[in-house]
Amino acid sequence: MINLNRIALVSITMAISTSLYAATESKPATQYTIERNQAVLKSLPFSDKQDFENAKRGFIASPDVLTITNKEGTPVWDLEEYKKYISLDKPAPDTVNPSLWRNAQLNMLNGLFKVNDNIFQVRGYDLSNITFVKGDTGWIVFDPLISPETAKSALDLINKELGERPVVAVIYSHSHLDHYGGAVGITSAEDVKSGKVQVLAPEHFTEHAVAENVIAGNAMGRRAVFMYGAMLPRNEKGGVNGGLGQTTSTGLAGLILPSKEIKTTGTELTIDGVKMVFQMTPGTEAPSEMNTWFPDWKALWMAENTTNTMHNILTLRGAVVRDAQKWAYFLNETMEMWGDDVTVKFQSHHWPVWGNENIMPYFEKQRDIYKFTHDQSVRLMNQGYTGEEISEMIKLPESLENNWATRGYYGTLRHNSRAVYQRYMGWYNGNPSDLNNLPPELVAVKYMEFMGGEKEVIKKATASFNKGEYRWVAEVMKHAVFANPKSTEAKELLADSYEQLGYQAESGPWRSVYLQGAYELRNGIPASGGTETATPDTIKAMSPELLFDYLAIRLNPEKAEGRKFDINISFTDIDSKHTLMINNSVLNHTSKQHKSADVEVTMTMATMNAIQLKEITLEDAIKNGDIKIQGDQKLVTDFFAMIDSFNFWFNIVTP
């Protein structure tokens, strides 16, 4: 997550107990929601069962019970919770969009699957798939999930069914957490360092994997709770599906650094007898990503560049806006490089597609969903329409609208078109009234005054709710809640509107966002759990430069007001020297160390990491000699006192 992805993706280690599931009773679907969902059944080709055939193809085995626990016995992945209400023989309930229900049914098909004679996948063990490629002596593992526990369980399953083989290589397709976090469950940093196991990744993998989970990690993690529905009850009125998979596992993700980076398209490598050719696709689904071609088998690994859904141009948890035009360009390049030869394509989410006659039309539509979204959003943008207006106007051609693999289970045309607008035009829509507009709390109070007061607003909004105008009710009642967050009546009506919008949503993240919003309005903000993006391995992987950038965004300007001093820091274990410069309530840093800083600090990077991880305090590190200081020690303690800690559970649906 992660882009905590996902997790980030994105994207994402959720540490939330089932005891935190919603306490307030969810409400049934209204007649308007029932009718809207029934209309979906009539508008899409539900008689097309090819995806179900593909998702079942090559099945080898699955456990009778799929609950994976950590050392303490706490579940980190529990598909049994979903099995209670999602199955292939059950029609969509009134509270779930039938198209999303279909996607959930497909993602529930779990276990070990054969892609071809040498490639196998374990699916349904996490948000993502883990892929095992059979080499001469061992397994080459692609994208080892989020959690060490889920990755190890998948390895145990394939070894049980196909015979014990060592892991000889791990390949990260890209820099999102659900594609590398579980590596420590199937190998170790020691084995990689010794050369026993190779770890390959695309160029700049480490810097993107670390930066995404640290710089904006707290805010992304909080919003990821909304995006992935981590706290929703597992039932027909709660969590159903995350679009790419059911949800995210909750183990503590690790990070084993790559031993080799792939830098150029066309790079060929043979590992354990398996020949691979790589295509670099930076700036598509992730800033650092690559596809892999297996020429001997005519098999193509698509990372997360093509999945069986429309993907995100901008994730709802937050990230840098992706380039839809570049995404389409790289998919076109993929087709030109291997399109004539490929006989099976598979990827890090969902199920494969077999047969060149099926793969090429699939690729064309995957390419065109991003090209259409880009081109038509920009066309309307150049006609003067804003992102909000474009999202209401843009419509897919029938060939993409009625194609299951380009439906909006994860990304949606609505928010992707806004993302394209944002990439080119930014936050300002050109209207002068939006240049310096009032913040929500002040706007809300004024709206309530102008609209006749809270009671009158609730009365009118209730009438709109009874007409099925849930988007409008949500727009109005958010102001009522921000004007008076103590109003139970306002919060309940807003929650009711969010709930119906969630029941209607085809996108798994949209459903989760709406229902999590309803949950927090009804039950308040949780006091524990959360998304830990800056995991120990992530912090240890930070370069000094990234560490200082992270400290800079945490510098409290009020505490630093009027202060000016320089600190020389030398990390003896990595032979790295830097100067921190505090002035104008800003922290700058340089590797060209100043000759006359106000204070000199000498330590190891390991000691700095231990302080970041709260394994030792600054004071104790100084006291026991782990940190040596020449000059004014108070400047060092003053500096660290200026560094803020972030509160994970900040408000979203209330002021």
Residue 361 has pLDDT above 50, yes or no: yes
Q: Do 133 and 119 contact (CB within 8 A), yes or no?
A: yes
Residue 192 has pLDDT above 80, yes or no: yes
pLDDT tens figures, 257-310:
999 999 999 999 999 999 999 999 999 999 999 999 999 999 999 999 999 999
What mean pLDDT do residues 558-569 have? 98
Q: Where would I find the beta strands (DSSP E) of 185-305?
A: 198-202, 260-262, 268-271, 274-280, 290-294, 299-301
* Residue with the two structure tokens 């994105």: 10
Domain assignment of residue 631, yes or no: yes
Percentage with pLDDT > 90 across the chain:
91
Domain assignment of residue 567, yes or no: yes
Residue 41 has pLDDT above 80, yes or no: yes
pTM of the model: 0.94
Q: Do 200 and 259 contact (CB within 8 A), yes or no?
A: yes
Strand 565-571 relative to strand 599-603, pairing: parallel
**Top-confidence residue, 106 or 209:** 106
Task: Return d(Cα 57, Cα 633) in angstroms, integer.
Answer: 66
**Taking Cα atoms as reference points, which of 543, 549, 511 lies closest to residue 643?**
549
pLDDT tens figures, 430-471:
999 999 999 999 999 999 999 999 999 999 999 999 999 999
- Tokens coding 379: 């066309």
Mapped onto helix, strand or coil, the DSSP state of residue 568 is: strand
- Tokens coding 225: 């709770």
Domain assignment of residue 348, yes or no: no
What mean pLDDT do residues 61-88 have? 97
What mean pLDDT do residues 563-590 have? 98
Residue 19 has pLDDT above 80, yes or no: no
Mapped onto helix, strand or coil, the DSSP state of residue 395 is: coil
> Residues with Cβ < 8 Å from 411, sequence gap 6 or more?
309, 310, 311, 312, 313, 507
Mean pLDDT, the chain, as a whole number?
94
For the chain, the residue count is 655
Q: Do 258 and 179 contact (CB within 8 A), yes or no?
A: no
Q: Given this model, what pLDDT does residue 554 score?
A: 96
**Taking Cα atoms as reference points, which of 55, 158, 48, 56 lies closest to residue 112?**
158
Name beta bridge partners: 345.
300, 353
Dihedral over Cα of 274, 279, 280, 283: its sign: negative
Domain assignment of residue 593, yes or no: yes
Domain assignment of residue 157, yes or no: no
pLDDT tens figures, 120-132:
999 999 999 999 9
Worst-scoring range by mean pLDDT, 210-214, 346-350, 453-457?
210-214
- Tokens coding 94: 């009134």
* 284 sits in which H/E element: none
Task: Return d(Cα 342, Cα 360) in angstroms, integer.
Answer: 9
Q: Given this model, what pLDDT does residue 480 score?
A: 98
Worst-scoring range by mean pLDDT, 116-120, 229-233, 617-621?
229-233
pLDDT tens figures, 139-182:
999 999 999 999 999 999 999 999 999 999 999 999 999 999 99
Worst-scoring range by mean pLDDT, 2-16, 66-80, 394-408?
2-16
Domain assignment of residue 265, yes or no: no
Task: Return d(Cα 650, Cα 221) in angstroms, integer.
Answer: 11
Residue 102 has pLDDT above 70, yes or no: yes
Q: Given this model, what pLDDT does residue 532 score?
A: 58
Output the CA–CA distances (angstroms, integers) from residue 281 to 265, 292, 322, 334, 504, in the order listed: 8, 11, 12, 10, 34
pLDDT band at 16 (very low <50, low <70, confident <90, very high): very low
Q: Is residue 124 exposed (0-12), middle (13-18) or buried (19+ Cβ within 10 Å)?
A: buried
Range of the domain at 607: 542-641
Output the CA–CA distances (angstroms, integers) from residue 206 to 174, 258, 287, 542, in the order listed: 10, 8, 11, 9
CB atoms within 10 A of CB 348: 27
CA atoms within 13 A on the CB side of 303: 29
> Residues with Cβ < 8 Å from 179, sequence gap 6 or more?
128, 143, 144, 145, 172, 173, 304, 348
Task: Return d(Cα 126, Cα 444) in angstroms, integer.
Answer: 41
Task: Return d(Cα 432, Cα 468) in angstroms, integer.
Answer: 33
Name beta bridge partners: 122.
112, 130
Q: Given this model, what pLDDT does residue 1 score?
A: 32
**Taking Cα atoms as reference points, which of 127, 319, 307 lies closest to residue 230?**
127
Domain count, the chain: 1
CATH value at residue 623: 3.30.1050.10
- Tokens coding 528: 């524990």
What mean pLDDT do residues 100-104 have? 98
Domain assignment of residue 581, yes or no: yes
CA atoms within 13 A on the CB side of 481: 26
> Residues with Cβ < 8 Å from 530, sequence gap 6 or more?
14, 15, 16, 221, 222, 225, 648, 649
Domain assignment of residue 302, yes or no: no
Residue 325: φ, ψ to 5°:
-65, -45
Task: Return d(Cα 518, Cα 522) in angstroms, integer.
Answer: 6
Name beta bridge partners: 300.
293, 345
pLDDT band at 213 (very low <50, low <70, confident <90, very high): confident
Q: Is residue 377 exposed (0-12), middle (13-18) or buried (19+ Cβ within 10 Å)?
A: buried
What residue type is assigned to position 330 of the chain?
A: F
Q: Given this model, what pLDDT does residue 533 score?
A: 59
pLDDT tens figures, 380-431:
999 999 999 999 999 999 999 999 999 999 999 999 999 999 999 999 999 9
